[in-house]
Amino acid sequence: MKDIARRAGVSESAVSFALNDRPGVSDVTRDRVRRVAEQLGWHPSTAARALSGEGSATVGLVVARPAGTLGVDSFFLQLISGIQEVLAERQLGLLFQVVEDVAAECAVYQRWWAEHRVDGVLVVDPRTADPRPALLDDLGLPAVVTGGVPDPDAHHTGLSTVWADDAGAMASIVDHLYALGHRRIVHIAGLPGLAHTERRIRTLRAEAQRRDLSEVRSVTTDYSDAQGAAVTRRVLRAASPPTALVYDNDVMAVAGVAAAASLGFAVPGDVSVIAWEDSALCRMVHPWLTALSRDTVSFGRTAARELLSLLDDGPAATVQVPLPTLIERESTGRVAEG
């Protein structure tokens, strides 16, 4: 910057004003400074900038999932793609970290904030009895919680929430299956303790009660194909096996179909299958899977936008993304007679 000042024949402050679109410098000088800067290939040192109070120009994302369960589904990379797209517009960086558990995640937030490493964070996988919102609120670290259900009780000011209507989606699935004649449904859910898992389970139970269905239940898993297959085998071997299976992700659904086939169950002849989360996977198996499709990339974009708004001292908001739609393919059908 000193170089620029010298070459443009002005003071350093003038350069700063010119480059940051601040008043206090004439247009001709501004242009001249800009040209020199470009010519020199100058970029502001984020370190220096951060030091003088401007923020670090990066946002953080930490995901706490056991090592194995991360790579399985494509959810995260898509989410990140969406986030990036928005952050890139402002040249914000994304600091990424994967940790073992929520405690470690909290530690990372504290450290990052203390180190002035990030200006805000995106929180994923909200949980029941989640310590993170309170922590972030205490720290005063701007954050948007994505994928959660808005917590009506403790409203943490300063936290935005982006959420999908899992309850509505589950209701639409039950509607669909009920209309096809299904009365015995098993929901192979994801990780227990995750807010959306619990919400889906609760909604399923409520919908079942409303229709007086007694043989409807949820089983939690770790999202892995192994558990998806294992649970499928177990429930299909029962005395009165379900006629429909709802899987909380695509990977388990695919594994489940394979497991069902190995037990001699035809899909959708003997048992219907729905995957919560659509992806290429769902069209790579036979039969093609009926799936709940949501736009994860756009989800990431929305979350990032909310965070940006928060960083601009915008108000904390609670925004809901569109209801996912059920794509009917070949894995669901009318329940067999008798």
Partner DNA sequence: GGGATCGACTAATGCGCTTTAGAGTGGGCT
Partner DNA sequence: AGCCCACTCTAAAGCGCATTAGTCGATCCC
Q: Which residue, 223, 171, 162, 173, is CA-closest to 197?
A: 223
Considering only the stretches 21-29, 152-160, 219-227, 319-327, report the one whose residues sit in contact with a copy of itself under the rule CB under 8 A: 219-227
94's contact among a copy of itself, DNA, none, with CB below 5 to 8 A by partner kind, is a copy of itself
Q: For residues 180 and 176, what is the distance between their CA atoms, to the nearest angstrom?
A: 6
Q: Residue count of the chain, please give it.
A: 338
Instruction: Name the minimum Å distance from CB 99 to DNA.
Output: 23
* Residues sharing a CB contact under 8 Å with residue 164, sequence separation 6 or more, in sequence order: 147, 196, 294, 299, 320, 321, 323, 324
Q: Which CB, 41 or 152, lies closer to a copy of itself?
A: 41
Q: Which CB, 43 or 212, lies closer to a copy of itself?
A: 43
Residues 99-128 touching a copy of itself, rule: CB under 8 A, are: 99, 110-111, 114-117
Per CB under 8 A, 70 contacts a copy of itself: yes
Question: Tell me, what DSSP letter sits at residue 24?
Answer: S
Gap between the terminal Cα atoms of the chain = 81
Instruction: Name the minimum Å distance from CB 113 to DNA.
Output: 13
Instruction: Name the minimum Å distance from CB 160 to DNA.
Output: 24
Per CB under 7 A, 22 contacts DNA: yes
Per CB under 8 A, 323 contacts a copy of itself: no
Q: For residues 88 and 94, what is the distance between their CA atoms, to the nearest angstrom?
A: 9
Q: DSSP assignment of 36-98, as one string?
A: HHHHHT----HHHHIIIII--SEEEEEEE--HHHHSSSSHHHHHHHHHHHHHHHTT-EEEEEE
70's contact among a copy of itself, DNA, none, with CB below 5 to 8 A by partner kind, is a copy of itself
Both tokens of residue 40? 């020199």
Per CB under 7 A, 26 contacts DNA: yes
The answer to whether the beta carbons of residues 248 and 279 sit under 8 Å apart is no
Per CB under 7 A, 54 contacts DNA: yes
Binding site for a copy of itself (CB under 8 A): 41-51, 56, 58, 67, 70-72, 74, 76-78, 80-81, 84, 88, 91, 93-99, 110-111, 114-117, 224-226, 251, 254-255, 258, 261-262, 279-281, 283-286, 297
Q: Which residues bind DNA (CB under 7 A)?
A: 1-2, 9-14, 16-17, 19-20, 22-29, 42, 44-45, 47-49, 51-54
